[in-house]
Amino acid sequence: MNRPHPETLDETMAKCERLRRPLSRELDQGKRFVVGGRHGDWVTAAERVKDIGGEVAAFHDSRKKTRGGKKNGIDVLRGKLPRRFAGLPYLFAGEPSKQWFSPAPSFVESCIWDVEPREAHQRGKAMPRLLQQHRERVERVFQHLADGPSRLQFASIVKARVEGDTSFHRISRYAEYDHPIVRPTQGDVAIDVGAFRGETTVRFARSVGARGRVYSLEPEPSNHARLCAATSDLFNVAPIAFGAWDDTRVLSFQGGRGGASRLSSEGEIRVPVTSIDRLVRRYRIPRVDLIKLDVEGAEKRVLEGARQTIRRHRPKLQVSIYHHKPDLFELPELLIDWLPGYRFYLGHHSYYHVETDIYAVPVEKWARGYLARSSRRWALRLLGRSPERGTSTS
């Protein structure tokens, strides 16, 4: 078991409060702002700015397929902000929407937020009672996280779900399923469960190289067809038209929801599913180095069907923990109980309430991942790029 950290969950949540930039703290007399976010909240935010003597320099529409113009006599900018506006404080009005706004983490955290918490409570994103009822379990997960960024992000998620305010979120500096230590490396054999249309599979295939292999499971027919098309020139990928479960059967599947398509009793199509343990036997997979799970709420059932594989091969794990509210603490706690000798990390990859993942690595593979991360950072520095995102530092 990990040693308890000197900082408690409550203390780290208080840090999230200090790091957040609410409008009430930032509205200084005479300050100029760029206002973005929900169109319907622009005017209200502008009125609040005006009431305290501030000025709205422009509205910003980050969507690509929109036109500029004016709104209430104020310029509407679209796309990338012009240089003359880039240095101004950015006020995000309203509740963030995952579908149309995906900025870099550093930008999200630099925003000033004008969020209405009641809306989040009404839409069911907040869960203060559930977190209070299971406070000891939530604290236990926090104490098992292996580094400061993981604990800060976990605390920020708890704070956001207690308050119903997504502006508390602290966001990972690495892409989802690309944790600096818990990621596929050269020669690995990876299983991508919930491959969707292949974006993560393609990235994994490039990481494992010619000596590695990626088995990608996607049961929805149209998504599977696009997965096959995306990986048609990758000889180290095996697309499999199965879903994952804790045994082998045929289940109903609700398609037509993009990445949120899922196994459901209300599903209009029938798809075959199997367990990871049976898959490994059927395809005679000699070893498993990494398993990634993003299966829209079926993660616990899939893990149950992978127990033999996990026990035998001790793979690195990447597991989504946001599809059901209790997943935030129940799935990490399940892995903590199952996996002695593992280190656990947490990543949050959206300012929204989604894209939260637990990353687990056995201690005997941790050093290899740490050295790979260190080598990568040095290589990026030699190229003049940021170790966090591979972006230019100039």
User: Residue 100 above 80 pLDDT?
Assistant: no
At 7, the amino acid letter reads E
Helix (H) or strand (E) holding 61: strand 55-61
Rounded (10°) angle between helices 148-163 and 9-19 = 80
Whole-angstrom distance, CA of residue 1 vs CA of residue 365:
17
Whole-structure pTM value: 0.82
User: Residue 1 above 50 pLDDT?
Assistant: no
What is the biggest distance separating any 2 CA atoms in the chain, rounded to whole angstroms?
70
Whole-angstrom distance, CA of residue 76 vs CA of residue 191:
45
Which of the 8 DSSP states describes residue 385? Answer: B
The better pLDDT of the pair 387, 83 is held by 83
Please name the residue that has the structure tokens 């069911």.
124
User: Residue 105 to residues 12, 31, 89, 223, 347: CA-CA distances in angstroms?
Assistant: 19, 24, 16, 28, 12
Q: What angle do CA 237, 222, 62 make, to 5 degrees?
A: 95
Cβ burial of 344 (10 Å; 0-12, 13-18, 19+) is buried
At 6, the amino acid letter reads P
pLDDT (mean) for 58-86:
81
Whole-angstrom distance, CA of residue 176 vs CA of residue 338:
24
- Going by their DSSP bridges, the two strands 90-93 and 32-37 should be labelled as parallel
User: Residue 80 to residues 62, 310, 335: CA-CA distances in angstroms?
Assistant: 7, 45, 42
Choice among 29-33, 46-50, 70-74, 236-240 with the minimum mean pLDDT: 29-33
Phi, psi of 184 (to 5 degrees): -70, 145
Whole-angstrom distance, CA of residue 114 vs CA of residue 48:
10
Please name the residue that has the structure tokens 């939260």.
356
CB 212 within 8 A of CB 236: yes
Helix (H) or strand (E) holding 330: helix 327-338
CB 220 within 8 A of CB 251: no
Choices 3.90.1650.10, 3.30.70.100, 3.30.365.10, 3.40.50.150: CATH for 189-382: 3.40.50.150
pLDDT (mean) for 73-86:
85
pLDDT (mean) for 4-28:
81
Over the stretch 122-150, which tens digit does the pLDDT of each residue have?
A: 455 678 899 999 999 999 999 999 999 99
Q: What pLDDT shows up at residue 313? A: 97
Choice among 92-96, 192-196, 281-285, 386-390 with the minimum mean pLDDT: 386-390
Q: In the chain, what percentage of residues exceed pLDDT 90?
A: 51
Q: What pLDDT shows up at residue 82? A: 84
Residues ≥6 apart with Cβ < 8 Å to 44 = 93
Average pLDDT, the chain: 84
User: Residue 334 above 90 pLDDT?
Assistant: yes
Over the stretch 150-186, which tens digit does the pLDDT of each residue have?
A: 999 999 999 989 988 877 888 888 889 999 999 999 9
Q: What pLDDT shows up at residue 376? A: 56
Q: What pLDDT shows up at residue 210? A: 96
Over the stretch 267-304, which tens digit does the pLDDT of each residue have?
A: 668 888 999 999 999 999 999 999 999 998 899 999 99
Which residues make up the CATH 3.40.50.150 domain(s) of the chain?
189-382
CB 143 within 8 A of CB 2: yes
Rounded (10°) angle between helices 327-338 and 135-144 = 60
Please name the residue that has the structure tokens 């209070």.
132
What is the chain's alpha carbon radius of gyration, rounded to the nearest angstrom? 22
User: Residue 365 above 80 pLDDT?
Assistant: yes
Give the side-chain half-sphere CA count within 13 A for 298.
26
Q: Domain 22-110 has what CATH class?
A: alpha beta
- Sorting pLDDT into bands at 50, 70 and 90, what band is 265? low
For the record, the structure tokens of 221 come out as: 């027919």
CB 83 within 8 A of CB 98: no
Whole-angstrom distance, CA of residue 362 vs CA of residue 108:
32
Distance of CA 26 to the CA centre of its chain: 28
Q: In the chain, what percentage of residues exceed pLDDT 70?
A: 78
Phi, psi of 339 (to 5 degrees): -120, 75
Q: What pLDDT shows up at residue 389? A: 42
